Structure 1
Amino acid sequence: MYITITPQKLGETYSKSSSGFVDYLEKENQGLEKEDMEHFFNQYGDEISAEEVIREIDGNTAKLEKTEPRFYSITVSPSKYELNRLQDHSEDLKRYTRELMKDYVASFNREINGRPIGVEDIKYYAKIEHQRTFKGNDKQVRENQPFASKILELKNEIRKIDRGEIHGNIKALEKQITKLEKDAPHQQNGKRIVQGMLKDGPQSHIHIIVSRKDASNRYSLSPGSKYKASEVALNGKTIKRGFDRDNFFKSAEKTFDKTFGYQRNFVETYTSRKEFIKDPKSYFSALMKLPTNEKALAFKILRESGMPMLPGIPTNQAQLALKVFNQLRRGVDMAIKSSSIGI
């Protein structure tokens, strides 16, 4: 599971309205019948309209400066193994979201009227999506790009021949294109993967838009705080501040596992991914000590994530860590994005 928390930021300033982001989240509903649409929901209600979401988020921005985000976007992306544990992706992920947001507020080191903040103190709206498309920076698209460029070049050549601008053998060029389509390293259902293509398999994920201000529109609650937990004097009062991202990500996994009876593998944990960045030698040592079945699954998950693996695995854990570290660092760095706030 990967979770990202992103501030609402477009360029150097923050938009005064959440409408652009909400419209983006409505894209999957285009062309669908009402009964097939996924609607916004929150802790207390379902089938909330996009208009209500925009009105409530935009109207909850008292005393925020132009340089401060009006809301944060939380994206929760379960793995295919986690999704396979669910019975009904829509309903189960709604139920999980409502528990997840309790973990979210529990990660704030804040109080309102002398008590810890609760889920009733935040204003959020969530939406389940079931599709993902390949983006330009995906490994599959990037590694297919040389083939795409050559195919485009050949198609342009064919068009020039059709217009009589140059002479050439169209059938021979079409044969080259067919071969390039088949030779591209990344295929899905017999077709070359390109940017914008829908990803195959279960792709359900959660988008959450949460207001920067609390539900009363009086207090600022920023998950982007650089503090985990601290206190500051303000107007003669001691104010608690901070947001513990580590606690949030760990709690999110525990809540999922408890809710759905999921047995999380070592390499799926937020803690292990952080350990890889901090101490790769320790990470691989722990990986090699896993029981045989768990270790086999761990390497399968790593391969499926797109990380390059060695054809032969050294038996010495330290040797493994040092040899594989540089190969895997880039891939795991991408996964570790869930540990920070940013675009």
Structure 2
Amino acid sequence: MMPISKPHSSFASKNKDSCIKLAQYLEKENEEIDQMIKNEVSKNRRDLLETMKQNFFTSIETNVGFIEVVGSIDKNISKLGKKDAKFFAPTISFSKNEQQHLVSKVTNKGDINSVFDLTPKEFTQYNNLLIQYAREAMDNYATNFNRRHKGLVDGSDLLYFGKVEHFRKYKGIDKEVKNGNSKTGDYKPGLQSHIHIIVSRKDVTQKMKLDPTTKERFTKRKIGDNPYTVGFNRNNWIKLNEESFDKLFKYNRPKLERFETQNILKNGSPHEIDKILMSSPSPNQNDYQEDLRKKKKKRRLL
């Protein structure tokens, strides 16, 4: 799979008021790490856990605190009404192969299955690569609004704060919980790194409203003799982010992992899906074949 970039309208809180609840939610991993440190007897493991605690980052800063995040986002609301969205909460997730590739770049090893297998120095390098990538993804986010002519060129023209997380927990909807192998709240094994973003509805100048959830993808309009464009193509943002990952980290992406391929497997016709699967044998092919059979059955029932 490719990096999945989702421009959520909100996450863990409503986005028409203060972002404080979302920012508080994103502090949860640090609180859990503090608890792990208290219960840890190994000094080496405690040192690694201390390294894992995260502050927020921006397009240029890497050590931004909670109060600055909330204050900045909540103040950047010029000419927004009470019912207008004030911020959005994009998330960026990675496949196991992508995370393994990044880890191998800092360790020269191919058998790292957890961030706990890293030294504090290796973890910091790995974490920095994720931040570097997130900044490129937010450059793509800005570009994808097609407002360059209005001064929206890259991520520095946005008001956003990001935070990397390295753990995920099972939820009641996960099949591992349903089949009784894990419990809700248990930590998921393996590399689970992902990134949360809080980005203001307004750009840094507070002149432009930017909505990544709009239904418009690329619409040209005019006010008098002044043409302008609106819209946000979510699929294009994912595609741009995939290209950025591959170029930035020299990742030779298999055909089956490409966004174009995955999009066909999810939304294509049975003939298109069959063609992809026949030309892209992989260990996961049986899973895709099963998905295809389910899709065909569902279509017959409609």
TM normalised by structure 2 equals: 0.78
**CA separation of 1:71 and 1:116: change in aligned 2, threshold 3 A:** closer
SS at match of 2:198: strand
C-alpha RMSD of the superposition: 2.5
- Provide the C-alpha distance between the structure 1 equivalents of 2:275 and 2:51, rounded to a whole number of angstroms: 51
**CA separation of 1:20 and 1:132: change in aligned 2, threshold 3 A:** same
8 Å contact kept, 2:7–2:234: no
AA partner of residue 2 (structure 1): I
Q: CA deviation at 1:58?
A: 0.5
Q: CA deviation at 1:106?
A: 1.4
Q: CA deviation at 1:132?
A: 0.1
- Provide the C-alpha distance between the structure 2 equivalents of 1:283 and 1:97, rounded to a whole number of angstroms: 31
Q: CA deviation at 1:235?
A: 6.3
The gaps in structure 1 that reach 5 residues or longer are 145-191, 311-320, 330-343
**CA separation of 1:37 and 1:250: change in aligned 2, threshold 3 A:** same
Question: Deviations along 1:150-209, whole A, 9 cap, x unmatched?
Answer: xxxxxxxxxxxxxxxxxxxxxxxxxxxxxxxxxxxxxxxxxx301110001111111111
Q: CA deviation at 1:252?
A: 0.6
Instruction: Provide the identity percentage.
Output: 30
Equivalent in the alignment of 1:27: 28
User: Do structure 1's residue 325 and structure 2's residue 262 form an aligned pair?
Assistant: no
- Provide the C-alpha distance between the structure 2 equivalents of 1:89 and 1:38, rounded to a whole number of angstroms: 13
- Provide the C-alpha distance between the structure 2 equivalents of 1:10 and 1:4, rounded to a whole number of angstroms: 14
**Which residue, out of 61, 75, 78, partners 1:62?**
78
8 Å contact kept, 1:9–1:15: no
**Which residue, out of 280, 284, 289, partners 2:270?**
280
User: Do structure 1's residue 224 and structure 2's residue 198 form an aligned pair?
Assistant: no
**Which residue, out of 248, 252, 255, partners 1:263?**
252
- Provide the C-alpha distance between the structure 1 equivalents of 2:5 and 2:179, rounded to a whole number of angstroms: 26
**CA separation of 1:4 and 1:116: change in aligned 2, threshold 3 A:** closer
- Provide the C-alpha distance between the structure 2 equivalents of 1:308 and 1:259, rounded to a whole number of angstroms: 32
AA partner of residue 271 (structure 1): E
- Provide the C-alpha distance between the structure 2 equivalents of 1:261 and 1:328, rounded to a whole number of angstroms: 39
Specify the structure having the higher radius of gyration (Cα): 1
SS at match of 1:84: helix
SS at match of 2:189: coil
**CA separation of 1:226 and 1:309: change in aligned 2, threshold 3 A:** closer
Which deviates the most, 88-97 or 265-274?
265-274
